[in-house]
Amino acid sequence: MSGRKRIQIDESEWHRLQRKARQLQAVKRDIPRLVADVRKQTRADVDRAFATVQARQRRQDAAIDRLSDRTRQIEADTNRKLRDQAQRLHQDLRETAGRIEENARQRLDEQRREAERALAAERAERRAETARLAQEIDAFKADRARAEDTVRAWLADARTMADLIDGELPHDRYVPGRLDRLRGRIATADATAGEGRFDAALAVAQETFHELSDLRVDIEQREFERCLAQKEAVEALVQVEALAEDNRHRPVVGPDARPVPDCTLDVVHWSEGEFDQVLHETAEALSRARDPHTGVQDLRVLRDEEAPRLERGLGQAVERAGMRQLTSQMRVNLADVVAHTLAEVAYYDLVEEESGYADDDERGAFHARLRNAANGNEIRVEIVQEDKDSDQCVIRVESSDHDVTSEAELRNRADAVHRALRDQGVPLGLEPSAPTVIPGGARIPGPGEPGSRAGRRGAGT
């Protein structure tokens, strides 16, 4: 004849463990090594990005050298300004790399505002130059040969600038179709010159060239903005990656709030895939952030939404891992109290070789087998979370007797276990009710069924 008992742990013990585990969610952030690692990786990404910028500017220098004398100096000055701006931005981004807790954006915002002022001044200067050159048209009317040469020079410069933009800058990303329309105007000016209307052709060629020049500067400015957004996105995600690696193993803290010697929390193991999932998603997000085709808006989403989400997920994975380790140890402790009590009241001894975690996995249920040497009767104890990460820890005690054990004796055992747990300071649910005894096995009635007693945190039978 068998009898099975179930006792449920109430919410106060669970909440105590939760408070302890929740401390783990505040993943370690303020250690010098972590900051140094983030700074090192971010600077490497910044250097790679600006190596691309510098290479692009050198190629533009080569293209500008092919311009006519009339436009070469203007564009060389523009390229010098862009190069100086890129160097300042590069330096600023390197200096602010790794400042995890500092407000470093104020300086970078000022740098952006300075660039916008420089851009506005550059465009004003260009428009003034266009107006001055337009005055030359009347002088060319009397000299057709000179007029034609001048128009052809401007058209050649416009084509050189269009080819430069097409080959070096992501114009379709920022102003799709704009370059094609300007190439169309070059073709129109060329056709107009072919008809001998050089004054009209010159006006269109000059304006088109300067619009192409403005387009080049505008795209470069947008690329600088993308470099800044990329740096911030990469840094935020590298921070998550570094935090994850640094929190892969955590110390186990005892009741005195001090680390327990020789005891660590293996977050990867106890998170049951959640930690690895955060790392996987972080790696994917970093790949997008480092992709030169990722736009500014997407980079800002990675910085402002994805990185914080991943860091929260990391903290939750660490917290749940700590909670699962704590409840695993709690199951062992409860089994020990139950086994000790049954040894005292019913003379049952623990069979150690048949006791332990199910499938040798400490994340699962803990089973203990006890045997009475005098009559061979056995008691099996199971302690388990009712569901994964549930707030209900359940103790089941099942007696398998060769002789007949009275209901009163089964009840006495249940009461003794209940008292022992209570005396150990374990908060319990309702008092155990009478056991259900069925020949050859036992069934525990559910809450609301006859023979059960439901509580807010579960039932005790």
- Same domain, residue pair 303 and 202: no
- Is 2's pLDDT higher than 60? no
- Is 374's pLDDT higher than 90? no
d(CA 371, CA 343): 9
Asked if 38 and 238 count as a contact pair (C-beta separation under 8 A), the reply is yes
- Same domain, residue pair 87 and 122: yes
Question: What single DSSP character describes residue 4?
Answer: E
**Coil, strand or helix: which one is 460?**
coil
Instruction: Check residue 385 and give its pLDDT.
Output: 80
Quote the pTM value: 0.72
Asked if 369 and 351 count as a contact pair (C-beta separation under 8 A), the reply is yes
Instruction: Check residue 5 and give its pLDDT.
Output: 47
User: Using one digit for the tens of pLDDT, what is the confidence trace for 151-170?
Assistant: 899 999 999 999 999 999 99
- What CATH number did the domain enclosing 380 receive? 3.30.310
- Same domain, residue pair 334 and 227: no
Mean pLDDT on 189-206: 90
Asked if 414 and 397 count as a contact pair (C-beta separation under 8 A), the reply is yes
Mean pLDDT on 316-345: 82
- Is 384's pLDDT higher than 70? yes
- At 449, the pLDDT band (50, 70, 90 cuts) reads very low
CA angle 80, 39, 92 (to 5 degrees): 25
d(CA 379, CA 2): 9
Side-chain-facing half-sphere of 444: CA atoms under 13 Å: 20
With 0-12 / 13-18 / 19 or more C-beta atoms within 10 angstroms meaning exposed / middle / buried, residue 132 is: exposed
- Same domain, residue pair 158 and 205: yes
- Same domain, residue pair 84 and 211: yes
Instruction: Check residue 308 and give its pLDDT.
Output: 92
Residue of higher predicted confidence among 400 and 176? 176
- Same domain, residue pair 246 and 290: yes
- Same domain, residue pair 265 and 121: no
Residue that is last in its domain, among 265, 286, 321: 321
Side-chain-facing half-sphere of 156: CA atoms under 13 Å: 16
Residue 428 tokens, joined: 């319990």
Mean pLDDT on 302-325: 89
- Is 437's pLDDT higher than 50? no
- Same domain, residue pair 41 and 135: yes
Instruction: Check residue 84 and give its pLDDT.
Output: 86
As separate numbers, helices (DSSP H) first and strands (DSSP E) second, the chain gives 14, 11
228: left (phi over 0), alpha (psi -120 to 50) or beta: alpha
Instruction: Check residue 300 and give its pLDDT.
Output: 92
Instruction: Check residue 342 and give its pLDDT.
Output: 79
Mean pLDDT of the chain: 77
Mean pLDDT on 297-310: 94
- Same domain, residue pair 218 and 244: no
Asked if 9 and 427 count as a contact pair (C-beta separation under 8 A), the reply is yes
Asked if 392 and 385 count as a contact pair (C-beta separation under 8 A), the reply is yes
The percent of residues above 90 in pLDDT, for the chain, comes to: 22
User: Using one digit for the tens of pLDDT, what is the confidence trace for 210-225?
Assistant: 899 989 988 988 888 8
Max avg pLDDT among 145-149, 159-163, 224-228: 159-163
Mean pLDDT on 75-84: 86
Give the residue from 168, 289, 280 showing the smallest Cα distance to 220.
Answer: 168
- Same domain, residue pair 99 and 199: yes
Max avg pLDDT among 82-91, 256-265, 416-425: 82-91
- Same domain, residue pair 220 and 346: no
Who's near 170: CB < 8 A, 6+ residues apart?
Answer: 219, 223
- Same domain, residue pair 317 and 330: no
**Coil, strand or helix: which one is 438?**
strand
Mean pLDDT on 300-326: 89
**Structural domains in the chain (count):** 3
- At 428, the pLDDT band (50, 70, 90 cuts) reads low
Residue that is last in its domain, among 183, 216, 233: 233
- At 27, the pLDDT band (50, 70, 90 cuts) reads low
Mean pLDDT on 434-457: 33
Q: Which contacts of 188-195 are long-range, i.e. CB under 8 A and separated by 24 or more positions?
A: 189/151, 189/154, 189/155, 189/158, 190/155, 193/148, 193/151, 193/152, 193/155
Residue that is last in its domain, among 321, 350, 383: 321
- Is 378's pLDDT higher than 80? yes
Position 28: which residue type?
A: K
Instruction: Check residue 133 and give its pLDDT.
Output: 59
Give the residue from 181, 227, 230, 235 showing the smallest Cα distance to 208.
Answer: 181
Lowest mean pLDDT: which of 50-64, 153-167, 230-244, 410-424? Answer: 410-424
Distance of CA 275 to the CA centre of its chain: 11
Mean pLDDT on 37-41: 82
In which domain, by residue range, is 345 found? 2-16+326-459
68: left (phi over 0), alpha (psi -120 to 50) or beta: beta
